Amino acid sequence: MAYHFPTSPALSTPATGAAAIFLLKSTMKAAGFTIGPSSDGTTAGGGDVLSTGAAGAGGLGNALAYFVATAPSGEQFCFQRGASNQVWYVKSSPGGFFTGGNATQVPTASDQEIWIGLGPDSAPTFAQWFNAIDGAYSYSCCVQDVAPHFWDSFAFVTLGGPAIHAVAWDGIQAGTGVSTDADRHVGYANVAQGFEFDIANAGYLHGTWAGAVAALAGVSWPFYPGNGFNPDSATGKDDAYPLVFFDPQVAQKGAAATLLWLATGNAANPRSTGKTFTLTTAGDHILVGFCLLPWDGSLVNGSPLGLELGLQIGGTGPAPTPPPPAPPAAPSGAAVASRLAAIGAQAFGQDFSCLPDLRPTVLNSGLQNLAEAILRRLQTPRGGLFYDLDYGTDLREWVNGSFAAADILRYQGLVQDECEKDDRVLSAEAQITPDGSGGFQVAIGLSTGIGPFNFVVGVSQASVSLLDAPSILLAA
């Protein structure tokens, strides 16, 4: 059994929504799905007539272009582009009954379930699937080559921010749900956020698992510490749970075979879109919204902090991966200082110190210079520099504001975006911890050309200050 991904690494930035769904089509083919019938909006065929995600002959980037994908076990999925790359008409036929269709009209099925848009097939209403401009988001998908032939598709604009869409097809665990339910699959489609609210026809996501899970026999539920936060204080690992679905016709739909729900943690331990986790092999799951999906092991945006080891999902699952060998001992403080001095201006340039204000007699270099440059960005209001109106995100504007989980995720994304505007920073990650008195601390990790380093910023109404000197782990 294998999961197939569209690219290596699995996350990419397709030029258009049609190019993204063409990646999904190609990944389905690689996993053994059959493509056809299909159409480029002008010419239809019983097989796969689409050779590109762009516009023109053989392209999915044309109005009313479509394709049907059939899983090896018979389930069918139909995708049709509307007048733009953002709007689509998507449906499924669990029984594989799609027939008919022509160059502009998709086939129909007696058991079809519409996921995105509205019928009828002869004049469908297309609905937004990609709610961002073309080329402005990261995209990936995954397709399983054995039953239940799980597949997913998701996109997000900002690492750590909300997903802009999430669609998935999954099986139901044996022994869960009710015996009268003939369809042992569930479809999930959210075209506004991600894996947060279920709007699919096939089932309803149970948003709070407590109490409901006991009614589903046959599922091995993992140890749960009772506080609702990750990591689990007893094991040091993250607790994850199969998503529980309910159907208005059969009540207990059952527990998902692949989709896992992960508690979002707290301010000190945030869990956000783009984080990668380990179940059996390093980075084999990625968090999108509240849901863990299969992943190819790649770190998202090269972030050195993206990989968190030790995911726990229950007693009957695979044995935890043994801990890796201990890393080499870090060099002494004197050795690190010597190495950083050698890197100095060559790595990050030189500039006058700005702590606590401009000090023209103090010349910084190396990590300290970059850290202070980032600090200047984080205490400058946007538009405060007349010659660079996009410079700055003043963290003091958030003091005494809301620190709800959604706000913290948004703040962290803004900090990361501001840090990455510095061309010496390859990628950034931020974790915000409120101090209980209206202020907060920000732990910042930067990936640079000489490796990752970390520092901590304290924010109050009066100041943005460097609480912890920048540090980097260098090979001895």
Residues 328-349: pLDDT tens digits? 444 444 444 444 444 444 456 6
Residue in the block written with tokens 């493509």: 35
Residue 325 in domain: no
Residue 323 in domain: no
Q: What is the separation, in whole angstroms, between the first and last Cα of the chain?
A: 41
Residue 326 in domain: no
200 sits in the region (left: phi over 0; alpha: psi -120 to 50; else beta) called beta
Are 305 and 342 found together in one domain? Answer: no
Last residue of a domain, one of 261, 280, 312: 312
Are 307 and 366 found together in one domain? Answer: no
Q: Which residues pair with 68 in a beta bridge?
A: 78
Counting the structural domains of the chain, the total is 2
Residue in the block written with tokens 């997913």: 152
Residue 386 in domain: yes
Stronger pLDDT, 454 or 104, i.e. the higher one: 104
Are 219 and 342 found together in one domain? Answer: no
Are 184 and 257 found together in one domain? Answer: yes
Residue 324 in domain: no
Are 292 and 338 found together in one domain? Answer: no
Are 33 and 94 found together in one domain? Answer: yes
> If you ran DSSP here, which 8-state letter would residue 181 be given?
-
Are 72 and 107 found together in one domain? Answer: yes
Residue 363 has pLDDT above 90, yes or no: no
State the average pLDDT over residues 5-18. 91
pLDDT score of 35:
98
Are 263 and 392 found together in one domain? Answer: no
For residues 320-349, b (16+ Cβ closer than 10 Å) or e, as one string?
A: eeeeeeeeeeeeeeeebeebbeebbeebbe
- Of the ranges 19-33, 159-173, 252-266, which one carries the lowest mean pLDDT score? 252-266
The percent of residues in the chain predicted with pLDDT above 90, rounded, is: 29
Residue ranges making up the domain that contains 371 = 333-472
Task: Using a cut of 0.75, tell me whether the model's pTM lies above it.
Answer: no
Residue 468 burial (CB count, 10 A): 14
State the average pLDDT over residues 225-240. 57
Stronger pLDDT, 348 or 279, i.e. the higher one: 279
Confidence band, pLDDT 50/70/90 cuts, at residue 202? very low
Are 296 and 152 found together in one domain? Answer: yes
The CATH number assigned to the domain holding 458 equals 3.10.450.40
Are 134 and 245 found together in one domain? Answer: yes
Last residue of a domain, one of 312, 346, 372: 312
- Which CA distances in Å does 241 have to 66, 173, 257, 271, 327? 35, 12, 10, 15, 31
Are 253 and 352 found together in one domain? Answer: no
Are 234 and 355 found together in one domain? Answer: no
| Cα atoms in the Cβ-side hemisphere of radius 13 Å centred on 255 | 20
Residue 454 in domain: yes
pLDDT score of 180:
66
Residue 36 has pLDDT above 90, yes or no: yes
64 sits in the region (left: phi over 0; alpha: psi -120 to 50; else beta) called left
pLDDT score of 162:
72
Residue 268 in domain: yes
Residue 320 in domain: no
Stronger pLDDT, 148 or 162, i.e. the higher one: 148
Residues 76, 93: contact at Cβ < 8 Å? yes
- Report the chain's mean pLDDT, rounded to a whole number: 75
Last residue of a domain, one of 278, 312, 346: 312
Q: Say how far apart CA 258 and CA 128 lie, in whole Å.
A: 26
- The highest-confidence range among 55-69, 283-297, 359-373, by mean pLDDT, is 55-69
Q: Say how far apart CA 305 and CA 303 lie, in whole Å.
A: 5
pLDDT score of 344:
43
In tens, the pLDDT along 291-330 reads 789 999 887 754 433 333 333 333 333 333 444 444 444 4
The percent of residues in the chain predicted with pLDDT above 70, rounded, is: 66
DSSP percent split of the chain into helix, strand, coil, nearest 5: 15, 35, 55
